[in-house]
Amino acid sequence: MSFTPGGAGGKAVFVRDMFATIAPRYDVANRVLTGGQDERWRGRAIAVLAPKKHAEILDCCCGTGDLVFGLLRAEPTLTVTGIDFCEPMLERASVRARREAPADRLRRKGGALRLVQGDVMAMPFADGAFDGATMGFSLRNVVDIDATLREILRVLRPGARFVNLDVSKAPNPTLKRLFDFYFYRIVPLVGGIVGGSRNAYSYLPDSLTHHPNANELRDRFTRAGFVDAGYQRLMGGTIAIHYGTKA
């Protein structure tokens, strides 16, 4: 299957179809492409969120549920809601939920999990419904970053934090060149073999090209209305954890 971001339906349809194609092998491809490091980065993002016991947490663009299950492992009393618009990715998350976070085990510990199909730019949740939110490797894929940040802010309670984990642009030019070589040359090759679609794994690096750098993204958090916005760099800045709080 070939993908054209500007094709019929525009970017949202393109992104949804692309993830539907790679959903069955998404988890394996992720582990291979990051050498298993993505689990560690997710752990750092969850530590930055620092959810309180029994909090209601939203994972935006949850995909197959890596952050959802990471949150529940870190604090089993949480009620975690994962939202994603791609049905096959959510199906994978449901299969994993039966194995990794069965409802009866969660209930015994005071936690819960629900998976919702929907667009993060217009979520079916009330204002102020959540005590915190996360997003992993997804902000590059949304049609409008600013509208998405405002929508996330809307569903957070005052004092709640949003934490976004994603690839970023390393400030060191040599490191950036090395990372670009890996991301733009190796990822499509290896992703094609392991993930099953070279086309899809060629789009993913491209999605970084027009993405704001770490400082710009922090400023967009602030412009969207988050306070105390900032970020932590991982892996020399090729990965960043951005955060902001609802006043």
Ligand X SMILES: C[S@@+](CC[C@H](N)C(=O)[O-])C[C@H]1O[C@@H](n2cnc3c(N)ncnc32)[C@H](O)[C@@H]1O
Which positions touch ligand X (CB under 6 A)? 12, 15-16, 19, 61-63, 66-67, 84-86, 89, 119-121, 136-138, 141-142
Q: Of 85 and 231, which has the nearer Cβ to ligand X? A: 85
Q: Of 202 and 247, which has the nearer Cβ to ligand X? A: 202
- How far is it, in rounded angstroms, from Cα 96 to Cα 106? 14
Min. distance of Cβ 214 from ligand X in angstroms? 18
Min. distance of Cβ 9 from ligand X in angstroms? 13
Min. distance of Cβ 177 from ligand X in angstroms? 24
**Paired sense of beta strands 130-136 and 56-60, if any:** parallel
Q: Of 83 and 170, which has the nearer Cβ to ligand X? A: 83
Q: Of 35 and 173, which has the nearer Cβ to ligand X? A: 35
Asked whether 153 and 185 are in contact (CB, 8 A), the reply is no
3-state secondary structure of 167: strand
- How far is it, in rounded angstroms, from Cα 182 to Cα 166? 16
Q: What is the number of alpha carbons within 13 Å of residue 78 lying toward its C-beta?
A: 29
Min. distance of Cβ 85 from ligand X in angstroms? 4
Asked whether 92 and 24 are in contact (CB, 8 A), the reply is yes
Q: Nearest-CB residue to ligand X?
A: 63
